[in-house]
């Protein structure tokens, strides 16, 4: 366990590290049933293209070869359903999320899509994954790694549960790298998104946190170094939409 006085930044607010998970849980419990709608509104639908790029990188086999994917922090099932539908009959996806409200939404949607035999949902902490060593052919996480209190622990756990020769893929927001666009992006992020959250999800504070957490997340090169430090090789990152989003990749070799 971390020392009691260890601190982390919750958005721009310093809070004790042991309190961050509770605060994150409160955010996502609040917005669970409007989460995907909010993603559409905040990104203008672009999140769908970003997620498609992630699934393309996963590249699940189209045949009946067994292919096990672990999707972390994906409680509503958005990534999991895409992977399951892109793969063949041997593809199976396990969603692991710490938030029961998000998982409830995901299970309902899986049943509606007839995918409840292909996609399963587990409650669990990314820092202490409830799976044996070398269990998965791919681990994904989309827009969730920045909410993990101890990212290094989560990366170590991801490395542990991956099979040799398998891949870790992480989709995460970053900072705009196009001159002149940064100021507009900041204005939209801090003035518009929280207002959308208040109007649609009834929770301005939750979306204020989500915006601020992006600014506190390590820059792409720094995060790539963290992935390498966890043991991954052939680490790379690809910026999309002017750097708004980055797809990170690493292999357990």
Q: What CATH number corresponds to the domain at position 166? A: 3.40.50.150
Tokens of 57: 């990188």
pLDDT confidence of residue 15: 47
CB atoms within 10 A of CB 26: 15
> Is 52 a residue whose pLDDT tops 80?
yes
pLDDT tens readout for residues 203-218: 677 667 777 777 788 9
Q: Which residue has the higher pLDDT, 214 or 251?
A: 251
The angle that helices 100-113 and 17-31 make with each other, rounded to 10 degrees, is 40
pLDDT confidence of residue 10: 37
Q: How confident is the model at residue 12 (pLDDT cuts 50, 70, 90)?
A: very low
pLDDT confidence of residue 157: 98
Specify the number of domains making up the chain: 1
Radius of gyration of the chain (CA): 17
pLDDT confidence of residue 106: 94
- Please indicate, yes or no, if residue 67 is contained in any of the structural domains: yes
- Please indicate, yes or no, if residue 196 is contained in any of the structural domains: yes
> Is 128 a residue whose pLDDT tops 60?
yes
Mean pLDDT calculated for residue range 128-151: 95
Q: Which residue has the higher pLDDT, 44 or 205?
A: 205
Domain interval for residue 23 = 7-252
Mean per-residue pLDDT over the chain, rounded? 83
Mean pLDDT calculated for residue range 83-94: 97
- Please indicate, yes or no, if residue 187 is contained in any of the structural domains: yes
Cα separation, 14 vs 45, in Å, equals 32
E strands present in 43-88: 67-72
pLDDT confidence of residue 8: 40
pLDDT confidence of residue 208: 73
pLDDT confidence of residue 212: 76
- Please indicate, yes or no, if residue 141 is contained in any of the structural domains: yes
pLDDT confidence of residue 108: 94
Cα separation, 158 vs 107, in Å, equals 23
Q: Which of 69-73, 194-198, 234-238 has the lowest mean pLDDT?
A: 194-198
- Please indicate, yes or no, if residue 49 is contained in any of the structural domains: yes
pLDDT confidence of residue 248: 98
- Please indicate, yes or no, if residue 183 is contained in any of the structural domains: yes
Pairing of strands 67-72, 91-97: parallel
pLDDT confidence of residue 29: 55
Q: How confident is the model at residue 197 (pLDDT cuts 50, 70, 90)?
A: low
C-alpha closest to that of 124 among 91, 156, 157, 92: 157
> Is 13 a residue whose pLDDT tops 60?
no
- Please indicate, yes or no, if residue 2 is contained in any of the structural domains: no
- Please indicate, yes or no, if residue 1 is contained in any of the structural domains: no
Q: How confident is the model at residue 111 (pLDDT cuts 50, 70, 90)?
A: very high
């Amino acid at each position: 366990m971390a020392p009691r006085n260890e601190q982390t930044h919750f958005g721009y607010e310093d809070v004790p590290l042991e309190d961050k998970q509770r605060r994150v849980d409160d955010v996502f419990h609040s917005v669970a049933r409007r989460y995907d709608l909010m993603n559409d509104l905040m990104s203008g639908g672009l999140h769908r293209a970003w997620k498609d790029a992630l699934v393309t990188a996963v590249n699940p086999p189209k045949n009946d070869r067994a292919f096990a994917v672990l999707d972390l922090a994906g409680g509503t099932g958005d990534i999991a359903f895409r992977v399951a539908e892109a793969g063949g009959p041997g593809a199976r996806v396990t969603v692991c999320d710490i938030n029961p409200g998000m998982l409830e939404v995901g299970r309902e949607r899986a049943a509606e899509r007839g995918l409840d035999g292909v996609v399963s949902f587990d409650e669990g902490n990314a820092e202490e994954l409830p799976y044996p060593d070398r269990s998965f052919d791919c681990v994904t996480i989309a827009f969730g790694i920045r909410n993990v209190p101890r990212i290094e622990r989560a990366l170590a756990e991801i490395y542990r549960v991956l099979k040799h020769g398998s891949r870790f893929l992480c989709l995460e927001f970053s900072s705009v790298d196009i001159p002149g666009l940064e100021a507009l992006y900041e204005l939209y992020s801090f003035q518009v998104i929280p207002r959308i959250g208040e109007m649609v999800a009834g929770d301005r504070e939750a979306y204020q946190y989500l915006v601020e957490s992006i600014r506190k997340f390590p820059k792409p090169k720094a995060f790539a170094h963290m992935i390498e430090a966890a043991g991954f090789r052939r680490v790379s990152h690809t910026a999309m939409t002017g750097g708004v989003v980055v797809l990170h990749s690493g292999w357990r070799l």
